């Protein structure tokens, strides 16, 4: 495992972060989930990402149980706040002072820790003054409940304003968590350049495009039973935009490139996002421990320029670049 600094801070994170969205507390049994976390630890992963909304708080509980007994100082634990949790009352979502202060305490109880290394705004709250949100985050940091602040899927303008307020309040906003892969490159035009300027790193989710870049989905073939594309609880919706035959054909064309590097397609996809120096870490999920062990092999892989050009020639025609997609996929109103 290799490590990178997170933003303009002294905090190092593992190049691969283990995340439990759509798995712990929902898609896989708790015993298997704990085995996956153990595999991550054994593979050198020290960074773990979750959120209070995942499985309506259950994912945090599973992760806390799985990490019990580990040396806390050797881990970087990230969680997030914004989406509805609990009974979904009028104040059970968003980034108000009330919701942030109550949510961090709930997350710490479930994770069985006194603090998180990174507390992230899971989306931008259009209904709460940003000054209120950032002041609440500053209080969380000063109370010792979080060490650093991050965001997820914020636009370049939102990042700039949030970063400015954080500086005024004397706290560090050091990360953004966007979707990023060969097929989803919307951060490259605006978010990434702004982040570099501000000293903000990306912790990217879905580096294998919800599994499409693993090559397991074939053009004209029914998706495998039990795969994300067949998950009607939410997985199928998140993957639908990638499940076009022309995309699946292009992904299969990456196979010889991966084979020439002694990688599988998932490892190639993860190595591709890590080629970007603004990416501090790529989040992987898993439903089996062996998936973790395999994906970790992407850490430290250096893709030659000519390899990157070959990949670009195949995939670029099908990739999404429009920076407006960041705000288009964000809620315009606080969810309930």
Question: Which residue's entry shows tokens 């020439």?
Answer: 260
Which structure tokens are listed for 42?
A: 């054994």
Q: Which one of the listed residues 18, 54, 82, 148 is annotated catalytic?
A: 54
Angle between helix axes 30-42 and 58-67 (nearest 10 degrees) is: 50
**Active site (annotated) includes residue 180:** no
Give residues with Cβ within 8 angstroms of 265, minimum separation 6: 213, 214, 215, 251, 254, 255, 258
Structure-token pair, residue 249:
């054909």
Residues 6+ apart with CB under 8 A from 334: 93, 94, 125, 126, 127, 128
Residue 151 CA to residue 133 CA, distance in Å, equals 12
Query: Which burial class, exposed, middle or buried, applies to 84 when counting CB atoms under 10 A from its CB (0-12, 13-18, 19+)?
Result: middle
Task: Tell me the C-alpha distance between 7 and 195, whole Å.
Answer: 9
Residue 263 · residue 298 · CB < 8 Å: yes
Q: Which residues sit opposite 118 in a β-bridge?
A: 78, 148
Question: What is the set of active-site residues?
Answer: 54
């Amino acid at each position: 495992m290799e490590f990178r600094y997170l933003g303009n801070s002294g905090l190092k994170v593992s190049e691969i972060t283990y995340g439990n969205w759509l798995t712990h507390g929902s898609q896989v049994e708790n015993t298997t989930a704990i085995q996956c976390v153990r595999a991550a630890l054994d593979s050198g992963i020290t960074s773990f990402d979750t959120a209070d909304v995942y499985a309506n708080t259950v994912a945090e509980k599973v992760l806390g149980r799985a990490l019990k007994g580990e040396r806390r100082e050797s881990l970087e634990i990230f969680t997030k706040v914004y989406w509805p949790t609990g009974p979904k009352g009028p104040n059970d979502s968003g980034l108000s002072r009330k919701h942030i202060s109550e949510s961090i305490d709930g997350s710490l109880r479930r994770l069985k820790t006194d603090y998180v290394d990174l507390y992230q705004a899971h989306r931008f709250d259009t209904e709460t003054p940003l000054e209120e949100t950032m002041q609440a985050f500053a209080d969380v940091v000063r109370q010792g409940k979080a060490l650093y602040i991050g965001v997820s899927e914020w636009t370049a303008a939102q990042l700039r304003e949030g970063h400015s307020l954080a500086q005024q309040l004397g706290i560090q906003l050091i990360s953004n968590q966007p979707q990023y892969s060969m097929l989803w490159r919307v951060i490259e035009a605006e978010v990434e350049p702004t982040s570099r300027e501000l000293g903000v790193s990306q912790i990217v989710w879905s580096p294998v495009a919800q599994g499409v870049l693993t090559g397991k989905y074939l053009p004209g073939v029914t998706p495998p039973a039990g795969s994300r594309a067949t998950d009607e609880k939410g997985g199928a919706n998140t993957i639908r935009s990638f499940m076009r035959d022309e995309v699946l054909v292009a992904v299969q064309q990456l196979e010889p490139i991966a084979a020439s590097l002694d990688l599988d397609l998932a490892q190639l996809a993860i190595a591709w996002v890590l080629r970007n120096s603004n990416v501090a870490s790529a989040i992987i999920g898993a439903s089996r421990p062996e998936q973790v062990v395999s994906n970790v092999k992407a850490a430290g892989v250096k893709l030659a320029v000519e390899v990157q050009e070959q990949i670009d020639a195949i995939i670029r025609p099908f990739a999404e670049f429009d920076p407006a997609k960041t705000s288009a996929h964000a809620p315009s109103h606080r969810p309930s």
